[in-house]
């Protein structure tokens, strides 16, 4: 971005408390090797760990803070992250073959497809171009320093253990290597932009070969994978309260991302302090050098996935020139696809490496992508036009850490549009709440979506008017201008549990935004309805609790009381169950099952009797609109649809649940304590939660062994932003380390099992008072020697 364009951006954004820093950054035209922050002669940092292994990193400059964070990330996660560095370095197929093992990669599309895409970025110099931008859409100077230090700290740990990681999953691995700043930036781009639709498209890009070209087994399998439904990004809940919803007129934030455990994109607690410059606590996303969800002394923020409600790209169909499958027609004029040929190394079954070459084809409407459903024929090709690849998410979260009010959070969102697939909320110490979608989506209006539609969401690529609009006010080419993102300021509450932006607040629905951001006037999930019920009952004082508005203790207790909104079926389900007991086809144990359902309190805490039976009932159900007696009403999204249609489908699901438990010797009134667990080194640690607001994602039901928890509630925190500073609780459900041999792997899981949470330790006094405090001081030269 040119300096003049950067200055225009800053003039157009209400920076409030961070304008001075951004003006300095955006006015720079230095090369990527220069920064406005002096480079220290050495790194020096104190790493203080408190109960649960939470790292509090204290330094005097950004590079040293990054040094400490990189060190602890390597200490706790180097094995898992080593797989990601192979991914971003386009080296996975060379190490593990075209498809590769499940660990340490979770790539749906296979190693080869991923390697080819990343190698394309590397060959094209994409990152080199990005590094030249030191403004909010590029890489801010402080972020560059954090990255530089992070890399040095991470590599220090590897040197200390001589690249022999204690994690048994990486025992003897010859692919543990030092990382570079480029690795960290490419990982940031993967996390912010490729984790959803772009990542899911890798196989489509690999399968895209012109008709008549030899198609080997790898490309055919890629086409088959590309035709599969895209997996949904994992879920999350978040609430931000303003002064009208809290007892003392403060702001409060609750964040509960339902995310991966022990994977490269994990969420891990950290606290960074640079006296006079930075004091931010929360969690980092997959090896990120900035706090993605957390709080400083004035503002707290959270995020959820919008991946289930938005598409961060648009698909087009091209009309090809007869006899020339790499030429296409736009407004009757011929255009040539632009080929980019990439070669990577692939390890065969015999262990030998061989080159694999693929050509990507770029068009005015994006990259050509193929699948069994969308083949590249002599007549047509299909493309995917996705959100811009960038790393400005690092800037966005760094600017959050500097914010004083929710207006500053909004300014950071508009200036960076940092992540293609998230929702964001925040609350400040002045009692204001905020919610937005800082997503850089292709500028395709609803009118275009209608006028250009061919079929199944595919647009016409033969007309210029169907291409994304180019607006000079947009911070990236071809995306919606920042002032069109959905957002809302409130003094009562804002909320999201992965549904559309539409119901951020029941009292003020958000309407009139482009449909690419999500749907309006549509059915909410039971999880969304459950959270809204909790908030509205407290505000209306119908929950039986004393006082008006939330106290912090009520905020914690109510939002994690384990309730499932589907419990609202019980008044109809229990009598229906009882009416079936006389039927000849009813299970013999049905009367006991009816009693168990009648006794269930409607929540998924560990000792709630009857929870296992109801959960199996839901799992055996194929719930559709036909299950309800009262249809959805957009004027009453909390209470509709409702009513249980007492049909044969409901009867059969109930029978199946009873038979499941009986067949496996499980008591019909069993609680989750004996049947839902996280297993570590053969030990089962019970964990609460279901498909509700307190969520636990599990593997399939395994009879007497119940459910194995594999993801779900991860880094959870509740914080109250008081005028005297933040106070609250947090917990890292899956543990601070993903090495099963580390004591930090299960310590917080056990606390979570027991319904306990860690105090947020934000001040020096709070840190020093922790009974398990340990301190490690690291020093190193600027060249990384120590």
Residue 786 pLDDT:
92
Distance set, CA 69 to CA 66, 154, 175, 403, 741 (Å): 5, 8, 22, 21, 21
Q: What span, in angstroms and rounded, lies between the C-alpha atoms of 200 and 107?
A: 9
Angle, alpha carbons 508-512-516 (nearest 5°): 115
> Where does residue 343 rank: exposed (0-12), middle (13-18), buried (19+ CB within 10 A)?
exposed
- Is 236 annotated in the active site? yes
Query: Among 28, 203, 221, 236, which one carries the catalytic annotation?
Result: 236
* Max CA pair span of the chain: 83
- At 444-469, the pLDDT tens digits run 999 999 999 998 889 999 999 999 99
Residue 163 pLDDT:
96
Q: What span, in angstroms and rounded, lies between the C-alpha atoms of 63 and 66?
A: 5
* pLDDT of 32 higher than 60: no
Long-range own/partner contacts, residues 636-645 (CB < 8 A, 24 or more apart)? 637/502, 637/503, 637/506, 637/509, 637/523, 637/524, 637/529, 638/506, 638/524, 638/529, 638/532, 638/533, 638/536, 641/523, 642/568, 643/572, 644/569, 644/572, 644/573, 644/576
CA dihedral 241, 247, 251, 257 (to 10 degrees): -50
Distance set, CA 232 to CA 244, 386, 486 (Å): 35, 17, 22
How confident is the model over 760-768, as a mean pLDDT? 98
Angle, alpha carbons 318-322-323 (nearest 5°): 120
- At 276-334, the pLDDT tens digits run 999 999 999 888 999 999 999 999 999 999 977 787 899 999 999 999 999 999 999 99
* pLDDT of 234 higher than 80: no
Q: How many CB atoms are closer than 10 A to CB 295? A: 34
* pLDDT of 603 higher than 50: yes
* pLDDT of 37 higher than 50: no
Question: Is the peptide bond preceding residue 641 cis, with omega within 30 degrees of 0?
Answer: yes
Residue 216 pLDDT:
66
Tell me 603's DSSP state.
B
Q: What span, in angstroms and rounded, lies between the C-alpha atoms of 778 and 58?
A: 11
* Cβ contacts of 636 within 8 Å, gap of 6 or more: none
How confident is the model over 626-645, as a mean pLDDT? 95
Helix (H) or strand (E) holding 301: strand 299-305
Q: What span, in angstroms and rounded, lies between the C-alpha atoms of 428 and 301?
A: 9
Q: How confident is the model at residue 2 (pLDDT cuts 50, 70, 90)?
A: very low
Residue 213 pLDDT:
78
How confident is the model over 227-255, as a mean pLDDT? 87
Q: What span, in angstroms and rounded, lies between the C-alpha atoms of 79 and 739?
A: 8
Kind of pairing between the strands at 333-336 and 433-436: unpaired
Q: What span, in angstroms and rounded, lies between the C-alpha atoms of 42 and 636?
A: 60
Q: How confident is the model at residue 233 (pLDDT cuts 50, 70, 90)?
A: low
Q: What span, in angstroms and rounded, lies between the C-alpha atoms of 715 and 100?
A: 29
| Contact of 417 with 476, CB cutoff 8 Å | yes
Tell me 582's DSSP state.
T
Residue 433's nearest CA partner among 581, 683, 252, 208 is 252
Q: How confident is the model at residue 229 (pLDDT cuts 50, 70, 90)?
A: low
* 3-state SS, one letter per residue, for 71-108: HHHHHHHHHHHHHHHHHHCCCHHHHHCCCCCCCCCCCC
Q: How confident is the model at residue 35 (pLDDT cuts 50, 70, 90)?
A: very low
Residue 36 pLDDT:
38
Which phi and psi angles does 189 have, rounded to 5°? -70, -40
- At 176-225, the pLDDT tens digits run 999 999 999 999 998 888 876 677 788 899 999 999 876 666 667 777 77
Residue 221 pLDDT:
77
Q: What span, in angstroms and rounded, lies between the C-alpha atoms of 269 and 744?
A: 12
| Three-state secondary structure call for residue 448 | helix
Residue 215 pLDDT:
64
- At 740-756, the pLDDT tens digits run 999 999 999 999 999 99
Q: How many CB atoms are closer than 10 A to CB 638? A: 15
Q: How confident is the model at residue 40 (pLDDT cuts 50, 70, 90)?
A: low
Angle, alpha carbons 687-688-694 (nearest 5°): 130
Beta bridge partners of 384: 315, 367
CA atoms within 13 A on the CB side of 130: 26
Residue 172 pLDDT:
87
* pLDDT of 701 higher than 80: yes
Residue 694's nearest CA partner among 531, 541, 543 is 531
Helix orientation angle between 141-160 and 392-402, rounded to the nearest 10 degrees? 100
Mean pLDDT of the chain: 91
Tell me 681's DSSP state.
T
* pLDDT of 257 higher than 80: yes
Residue 50 pLDDT:
98
Residue 39 pLDDT:
55
- At 76-128, the pLDDT tens digits run 999 999 988 998 999 999 998 887 654 444 444 578 988 999 999 999 988 98
| Contact of 693 with 531, CB cutoff 8 Å | yes
| Three-state secondary structure call for residue 624 | coil
* pLDDT of 514 higher than 60: yes
- At 12-22, the pLDDT tens digits run 333 333 433 44
Residue 197 pLDDT:
67
Least confident of 10-24, 58-72, 573-587: 10-24
- At 363-397, the pLDDT tens digits run 999 999 999 999 999 999 999 999 899 999 999 99
| Contact of 223 with 375, CB cutoff 8 Å | yes
Residue 730 pLDDT:
98
Residue 264 pLDDT:
85
Residue 267's nearest CA partner among 275, 256, 259, 279 is 259
* Cβ contacts of 657 within 8 Å, gap of 6 or more: 593, 613, 614, 616, 617, 619, 620
How confident is the model over 154-161, as a mean pLDDT? 97
Distance set, CA 705 to CA 73, 497, 618, 686 (Å): 33, 30, 18, 12
Residue 591 pLDDT:
98
Higher pLDDT, 53 or 268: 53
Torsion sign across C-alpha atoms 521, 524, 530, 535: negative
Tell me 201's DSSP state.
T
Torsion sign across C-alpha atoms 88, 93, 96, 99: positive
Torsion sign across C-alpha atoms 148, 149, 152, 157: negative
| Contact of 534 with 542, CB cutoff 8 Å | no
């Amino acid at each position: 971005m040119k300096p003049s364009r950067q200055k225009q951006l800053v003039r157009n954004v209400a920076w409030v408390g961070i304008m001075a820093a951004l003006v300095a950054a955006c006015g720079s035209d230095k090369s990527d090797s220069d920064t406005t922050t002096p480079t220290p002669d050495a790194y020096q940092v104190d790493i203080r760990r408190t109960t649960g292994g939470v790292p509090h990193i204290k330094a005097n400059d950004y590079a040293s803070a990054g040094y400490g964070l990189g060190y602890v990330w390597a200490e706790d996660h180097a094995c898992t992250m080593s797989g990601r560095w192979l991914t971003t370095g386009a080296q996975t197929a060379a190490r593990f073959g075209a498809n590769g093992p499940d660990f340490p990669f979770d790539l749906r599309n296979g190693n080869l497809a991923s390697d080819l895409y990343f190698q394309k970025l590397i060959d094209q110099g994409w990152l080199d171009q990005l590094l030249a931008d030191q403004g909010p859409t590029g890489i801010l100077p402080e972020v560059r320093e954090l990255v530089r230090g992070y890399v040095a700290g991470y590599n220090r740990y590897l040197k200390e253990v001589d690249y022999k990681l204690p994690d048994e999953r990486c025992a003897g691995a010859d692919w543990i290597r030092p990382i570079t700043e480029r690795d960290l930036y490419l990982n940031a781009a993967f996390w912010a932009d490729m984790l959803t639709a772009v990542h899911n498209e890798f196989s489509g890009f690999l399968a895209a070969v012109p008709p008549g070209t030899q198609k080997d087994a790898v490309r055919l399998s890629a086409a088959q994978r590309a035709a599969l439904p895209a997996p949904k990004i994992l879920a999350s809940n978040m609430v931000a309260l303003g002064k009208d919803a809290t007892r003392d007129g403060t702001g409060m934030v609750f964040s509960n991302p339902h995310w991966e455990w022990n994977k490269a994109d994990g969420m891990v607690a950290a606290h960074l302090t640079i006296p006079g410059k930075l004091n931010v606590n929360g969690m980092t996303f997959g090896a990120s050098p900035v706090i993605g969800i957390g709080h400083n002394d004035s503002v707290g923020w959270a995020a959820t996935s919008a991946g289930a409600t938005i598409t961060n790209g648009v698909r087009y169909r091209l009309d090809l020139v007869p006899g020339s499958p790499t030429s296409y027609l736009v407004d009757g004029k011929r255009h040539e696809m632009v080929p980019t040929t990439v070669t990577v190394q692939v390890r065969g079954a015999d262990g030998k490496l061989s080159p694999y070459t693929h050509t990507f084809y770029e068009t005015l409407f994006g990259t050509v992508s193929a699948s069994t459903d969308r083949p590249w024929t002599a007549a047509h090709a299909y493309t995917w036009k996705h959100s811009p690849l960038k790393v400005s998410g690092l800037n966005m979260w760094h600017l959050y850490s500097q914010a004083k009010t929710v207006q500053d959070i909004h300014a950071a969102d508009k200036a960076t549009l940092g992540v293609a697939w998230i929702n964001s909320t925040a609350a400040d110490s002045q009692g204001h709440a905020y919610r937005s979608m800082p997503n850089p989506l292709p500028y395709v209006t609803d009118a275009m979506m209608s006028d250009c539609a061919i079929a199944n969401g595919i647009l016409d690529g033969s007309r210029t008017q169907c291409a994304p609009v180019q607006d000079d006010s947009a911070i990236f080419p071809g995306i919606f201008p920042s002032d069109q993102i959905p957002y809302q300021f409130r003094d009562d509450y804002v909320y999201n549990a992965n549904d559309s932006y539409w119901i951020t607040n029941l009292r003020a629905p958000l309407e009139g935004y482009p449909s690419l951001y999500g749907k309006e006037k549509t059915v909410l999930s039971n999880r969304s309805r459950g959270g809204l019920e909790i908030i509205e009952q407290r505000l209306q004082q119908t929950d039986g609790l004393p006082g008006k508005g939330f106290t912090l203790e009520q905020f914690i207790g109510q939002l994690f009381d384990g309730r499932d909104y589907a419990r609202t079926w019980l008044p109809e389900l229990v009598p229906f169950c009882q009416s079936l007991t006389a039927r000849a086809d009813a299970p013999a144990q049905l009367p006991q099952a009816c009693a168990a359902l009648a006794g269930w309190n409607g929540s998924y805490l560990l000792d709630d009797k009857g929870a296992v039976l109801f959960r199996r009932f839901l799992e055996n159900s194929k719930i559709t609109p036909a299950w309800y007696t009262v249809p959805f009403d957009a004027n009453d999204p909390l209470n509709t649809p409702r009513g249980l249609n007492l049909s044969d489908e409901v009867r059969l699901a109930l029978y199946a649940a009873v038979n499941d438990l009986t067949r496996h010797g499980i008591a019909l009134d069993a609680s989750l304590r004996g049947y839902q667990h996280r297993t570590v080194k053969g030990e089962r640690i019970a964990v609460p939660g279901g498909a509700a607001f307190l969520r636990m994602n599990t593997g399939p039901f395994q009879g007497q062994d119940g459910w194995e928890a594999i993801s779900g509630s991860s880094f959870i925190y509740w914080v109250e932003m008081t005028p005297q500073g933040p106070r609250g609780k947090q917990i890292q459900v899956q543990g601070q380390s993903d090495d099963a041999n580390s004591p930090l792997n299960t310590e917080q899981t056990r606390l979570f099992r027991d319904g306990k949470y860690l105090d947020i330790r934000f001040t020096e006094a709070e840190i020093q008072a922790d009974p398990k405090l340990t301190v490690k001081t690291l020093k190193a030269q600027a060249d990384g020697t120590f």
